[in-house]
């Protein structure tokens, strides 16, 4: 059984599920707990006791496993970079990644990791490299370890999203933008031929659900679409997928689509990702539990 946890700025999301021998994922249970106000800011824990109490509450309520838990985190303080990599032994890659961030202030206070975007068989070898502050990670570890919960894996939000895009046949090879909304920020990721190309994060000022908020989102997306055209004019953006919408944004996708002249929707359902064997229920999770779901793949 896989237990995946995402701690957002507002709530804790927990999914449990299993993958079969063909790597098809079926989510068995969906849970969440609201966090105390101001317990989190930009993905950084600012009230460890408040977060710890919320984690304990959801763990006790659902009797969740305390071993082999997969955590996914997201923060504007996490540094991401797509890097071209020479063909080298796998053992050399961590040092190549570290070297890419050597000029970052406080270099010694970061942890480094990477995901292979292109292994060199179909194009130039590329990595998605991350630099995450040690204290950012340590705060999460203290919260979970303090409750006797063992974290076997800590992932980043964009990395989890990349896994979800790759696992869905409807998105695995397309040029598209995936947008994740939270109360105060928007994270947009451009995928070219289904592979990570570029990410941007914008602060949201306007009240979610308002016309001003809609225009704010459109401006951010329009800029990224223009960037995509400059990067690869032969492969236009086929679709924009929006995740993290609130109740007052029920008409957000069609209105943004009309403004951008591009199809805009939530992520499509697929047969190899289900929730209690239902692909349509899983489509809801793709829209609202994007990082937690991708973290299971």
Instruction: Give the confidence band of 233 by pLDDT, cuts at 50, 70, 90.
Output: low
Quote the pLDDT of residue 229: 82
Residues 179 and 227 both lie in one domain: yes
Instruction: Determine, yes or no, domain membership for 256.
Output: yes
Instruction: Determine, yes or no, domain membership for 151.
Output: no
Residues 177 and 262 both lie in one domain: yes
Cα–Cα distance, 116 to 83 (Å, whole number): 10
Q: What is the 3-state secondary structure (H, E, C) of 121-186?
A: CCCCCEEEEEEEEHHHHHHHHHHHHCCCCCEEEEEEHHHHHHHHHHHCCCCCCCCEEEEEECCCEE
Instruction: Determine, yes or no, domain membership for 186.
Output: yes
Cβ atoms of 274 and 25 within 8 Å: the answer is yes
pLDDT at 54 > cutoff 90: yes
Q: Give me the CATH number covering residue 217.
A: 3.30.420.40
Cα–Cα distance, 49 to 47 (Å, whole number): 6
Q: List, in sequence order, every beta strand (DSSP E) within 151-279.
A: 151-156, 176-181, 185-192, 195-203, 239-243, 264-265, 273-275
Instruction: Determine, yes or no, domain membership for 214.
Output: yes
pTM over 0.85: yes
Distances, alpha carbon 131 to alpha carbons 110, 189, 289, in Å: 6, 18, 24
Instruction: Determine, yes or no, domain membership for 160.
Output: no
Residues 125 and 210 both lie in one domain: no
Cα–Cα distance, 26 to 276 (Å, whole number): 6
Q: What is the pLDDT of residues 110-161, one digit of tens each?
A: 999 999 999 988 888 999 999 999 999 999 999 999 999 999 999 999 999 9
Overall domain count for the chain = 2
pLDDT at 217 > cutoff 70: yes
Quote the pLDDT of residue 227: 86
Instruction: Determine, yes or no, domain membership for 60.
Output: no
Q: What is the pLDDT of residues 12-52, one digit of tens each?
A: 999 999 999 999 999 999 999 999 999 999 999 999 999 99
Instruction: Determine, yes or no, domain membership for 288.
Output: no
Residues 251 and 191 both lie in one domain: yes
CA torsion through residues 279, 267, 238, 117, sign: negative
Domain range for residue 111? 79-132
Instruction: Determine, yes or no, domain membership for 31.
Output: no
Pairing of strands 195-203, 2-7: unpaired
Q: Which of 155, 154, 173 is nearest to 165 (CA)?
A: 173
3-class DSSP state of 103: coil
Instruction: Determine the average pLDDT of the residues in 171-195.
Output: 95
Residues 176 and 262 both lie in one domain: yes
Residues 180 and 107 both lie in one domain: no
Instruction: Give the confidence band of 230 by pLDDT, cuts at 50, 70, 90.
Output: confident
Quote the pLDDT of residue 31: 98
Cα–Cα distance, 262 to 147 (Å, whole number): 47
């Amino acid at each position: 059984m896989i237990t995946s946890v995402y701690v957002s700025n507002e709530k804790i999301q927990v999914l449990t599920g299993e993958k079969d021998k063909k790597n098809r994922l079926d989510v068995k249970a969906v849970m969440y707990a609201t966090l105390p106000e101001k317990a989190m800011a930009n993905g950084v824990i600012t009230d460890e006791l408040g977060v710890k109490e919320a984690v304990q509450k959801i763990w006790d309520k659902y009797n969740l496993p305390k071993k082999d838990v997969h955590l996914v985190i997201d923060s504007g303080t996490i540094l991401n970079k797509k890097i071209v990599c020479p063909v080298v032994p796998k053992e050399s890659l961590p040092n190549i990644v570290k070297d890419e961030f050597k000029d970052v202030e406080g270099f010694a206070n970061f942890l480094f990791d990477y995901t292979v975007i292109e292994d060199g068989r179909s194009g130039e070898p590329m990595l998605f490299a991350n630099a995450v502050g040690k204290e950012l990670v340590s705060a999460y570890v203290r919260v979970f370890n303090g409750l006797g919960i063992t974290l076997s894996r800590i992932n980043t939000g964009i990395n989890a999203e990349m896994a979800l895009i790759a696992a869905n046949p409807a998105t695995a090879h397309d040029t598209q933008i995936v947008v994740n909304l939270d109360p105060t920020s928007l994270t947009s990721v451009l995928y070219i031929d289904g592979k990570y190309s570029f990410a941007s994060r914008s602060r949201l000022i306007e009240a979610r659900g308002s016309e001003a908020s809609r225009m704010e989102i459109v401006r951010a997306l329009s800029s990224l679409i223009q960037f995509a055209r400059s990067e690869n004019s032969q492969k236009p953006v086929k679709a924009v997928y929006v995740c993290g919408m609130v109740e007052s944004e029920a008409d957000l996708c069609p209105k943004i689509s009309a403004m951008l002249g591009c199809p805009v929707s939530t992520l499509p359902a697929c047969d190899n990702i289900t929730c209690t064997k239902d692909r349509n229920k899983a489509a809801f999770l793709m829209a609202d539990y994007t990082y937690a779901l991708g973290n299971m793949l």
